[in-house]
Amino acid sequence: MRKAATVQELPGVSQSKTEVRSPAFAWSDLASRLRPYLYLAPALICFALFFFYPIGSIIYLSFQDWSLINLEQMEWVGLQNYQDLMVDGDFHQVLGNTVVFTIATVGIGLTLSFLLALWLNKKAKVYGIIQATVFSPHIISLVSVSMLWMWLMDPQFGLLNAGLEAVGLPAYTWLTDPKSSLLSLIIVSIWKVVGYNTLIFIAGLQSIPGDIYEAAALDQSPWWRTLRRITIPMLSPTIFFLLIINTITSFQAFDTIAIMTQGGPINSTNMLVYYIYQQGMDFYNGGIASAASVILLILVGILTAIHFLVMSKRVHYR
Amino acid sequence: MYRVVLASRKTVEWIGLLIVGFLFVFPFLWMASTAFKTMPEVLQFPPTLLPETWEWSNFAQAWESGPFHMFTWNSILVAVGILILQFLTAVPAAYAFARYKFPGRNLLFGLVLIVLMIPGQVIFLPIYVQLSGWGLINTLWSLILPYAASAFGIFLLRQAFMQVPDEVIEAARLDNASEWKIMWTIMVPMAKPVLVTFGLFSFIYHWNDYFWPLIMTNSDEARTLPIGISSLHMSDGGTLWNVMMAGNMILILPILVIFFVAQRHIIKAFIYQSK
């Protein structure tokens, strides 16, 4: 009896109901039905406590006036926090910075890594070494990456300005000038992300069947046409995946800002997560921070939804 | 003539490779070089490529500028603790998704995928409120518990478990092995490469994490290495770049060593995310 019940659960085994069931209530049957839920329970409880409940909670908190100092004092203010954000010039700038940072990082980062992948996708050992080298910043703590680039970008003693001076160019302001600070963060982020993208692109390139290229070669298709007609369309799932992942990661930018600029000078590098952190943890505006979190959550949620929709469609024509 | 063109193309290619490699490796070498310089040499112009005198004491100075033995110990506890908990929660969950049919399976797996895609940074405030209600702020628990389950781990292990042939499990069931035993003594060993891959991913991620410890802790007792290192540049009277870089060497060396040893696994772990 027990065996029949468990074999039935095997995927691939036909789900015939022919085995004889005892008329009495079968405890072992119930136990094996419950088993998968028991196995899932620890993980799902964690997700409920530290993911789904907080998502509900942040929406609730965004309608309250509250602060971390005294959590007992919560006051329902409806949409007031959102209205405050709408008219807050600083928040507009934060949104603008986030958008500029994201478009620049994702756009330049993806283009560079696509070109690198086309070039480095070769069997010889040296290409493997360069691939690993390009990838290495990705596994290093952003703390170290940030401090390293702060040192390279130091206006007086940094290597970048020493290099500029050596070739007769004027020193650059990098992080200290609101005109260049965001650009400096963009450079650091691209440096950090390019290796990861490149390796994902290479994995994508290697999954394209070789005979398509052979056919193209027989037709004497020029390389740019092969690229445009074969490589890019075949890579479109990879391009799309990286587009979504990179965008979500850019929205989350925090470590570089916290260590390199603290959002300054004059708010020029402040972005969404850092703004939420400042409002919540430094200025004790829990309500404002929550409302900004909900806006971020909606942005990331939309991207995730698009991702799922397109990816589930992709299953059909694959 | 053709041969000359070919040779020069190859030279150009090699020069290009060198430049690309240089762009990504040199900053780290510069960090190492600075970590060994004396402060006057750090501020010297033009900068020296290699230290003229090797100042090993920078490392001691970085280490002694705070309770770094405690930060390191906390970092190890947190990264390893998270790893063990994620392993214990992911294996049964992945087994259930991979090997059972049950009502609600697709829905529950959809929830896991949502967790995988939405970053925890978006909801750190309510988690902070919740943990402070439980009195866990400023403890290592506040760093470990929110990561006790990994959607990525479940996703990865599920794929590995699905690839184990049915015959293996049927044979074990005929031998009257319990489901629990099949899971831990047959499935887990067969998924070892994936487990290593996931373990490396998780360890590196949490070893490097700065955001979560910064939010959840404010006393040294519960802080981790990245926080300790990041506080190095707040010294008064000019930045001690050499000490700062020495501190960062301490933070990145374990990861670099792991990377050299297990490079293929690590790259696989991070690339798996795209599947």
Task: Tell me if residue A65 falls in helix, strand or coil.
Answer: strand
Q: What is the DSSP letter of B209?
A: -
Q: What is the pTM of this model?
A: 0.89
What pLDDT, on the 0 to 100 scale, is given for residue A12? Answer: 44
Domain ranges of chain B: 1-54, 64-272
| pLDDT (0 to 100) of residue B5 | 67
> Which two structure tokens, joined as six digits, stand for A48?
């409920």
Contacts of B259 in chain A (CB under 8 A): 136, 139
Tell me the C-alpha distance between B271 and B256, whole Å: 18
ipTM of the complex model: 0.91
Residues in chain A closer than 8 A to B163 (CB atoms): none
- From B178's Cα to the closest Cα of chain A, the distance in A is 10
Determine the residue among A13, A58, A140 to mutate to test chain B binding: the one whose Cβ has the most chain B Cβ atoms within 10 Å. A140
Q: Nearest CA of chain A to the CA of B230: how many Å? A: 6
Paired tokens of B40:
């006057």
Pick A7 or B4 by higher pLDDT.
B4
pLDDT of residue A15: 45
Rounded-to-integer distance, Cα A247 and Cα A241, Å: 10
Whether B160 shows a pLDDT value over 70: the answer reads: yes
What are the φ and ψ backbone dihedral angles of A65, each rounded to 5 degrees?
A: -100, 115
Residue B239, pLDDT > 80, answer yes
Tokens 């996708």 sit at which residue? Answer: A121
Give the DSSP letter string of B126-165: HHHHHHHHTT-TTSTHHHHGGGSS-HHHHHHHHHHHHTS-
By CA distance, what is A120's nearest residue in B? B17
Residues of B in contact with A198 (CB under 8 A): none
The single-letter DSSP state of residue B140 is: T
- The Cα–Cα gap between B32 and A157 comes to 16
Secondary structure class of A64 (helix, strand, coil): strand
Residue B1: what pLDDT? Answer: 55
Burial (0-12, 13-18, 19+ Cβ within 10 Å), A23: exposed
Q: Is the pLDDT of residue B175 over 90?
A: no
Q: Which CATH class is domain A89-312?
A: mainly alpha
Contacts of A194 (CB under 8 A, 6+ apart): A109, A112, A113, A116, A134
CB B273 within 8 A of CB A138: no
Shortest Cα distance from A216 to chain B (angstroms)?
Answer: 23
B126 and A53: CB-CB below 8 Å?
Answer: yes
**Segment 118-157 of chain B within 8 Å of chain A by CB:** 118-130, 132-133, 145-149, 151, 154
User: Residues B237, B118: contact at Cβ < 8 Å?
Assistant: no
Chain B hits for A1, CB-CB cut-off 8 Å, are none
pLDDT of residue A105: 97
- B28 touches A: beta carbon within 8 Å: yes
Beta bridge partners of A65: A75
Tens-binned pLDDT, residue by residue, of chain A (318 aa): 334 444 444 444 444 444 555 555 677 788 888 999 999 999 999 999 999 999 999 999 999 999 998 888 889 999 999 999 999 999 999 999 999 999 999 999 999 999 999 999 998 899 999 999 999 999 999 999 999 999 999 988 899 999 998 898 988 889 999 999 999 999 999 999 999 999 999 999 998 888 888 888 888 888 888 899 889 999 998 999 999 999 999 999 999 999 999 998 999 999 999 999 999 999 999 999 999 999 999 999 999 999 888 877 764 443
For B64-272, which CATH superfamily applies?
Answer: MetI-like (1.10.3720.10)
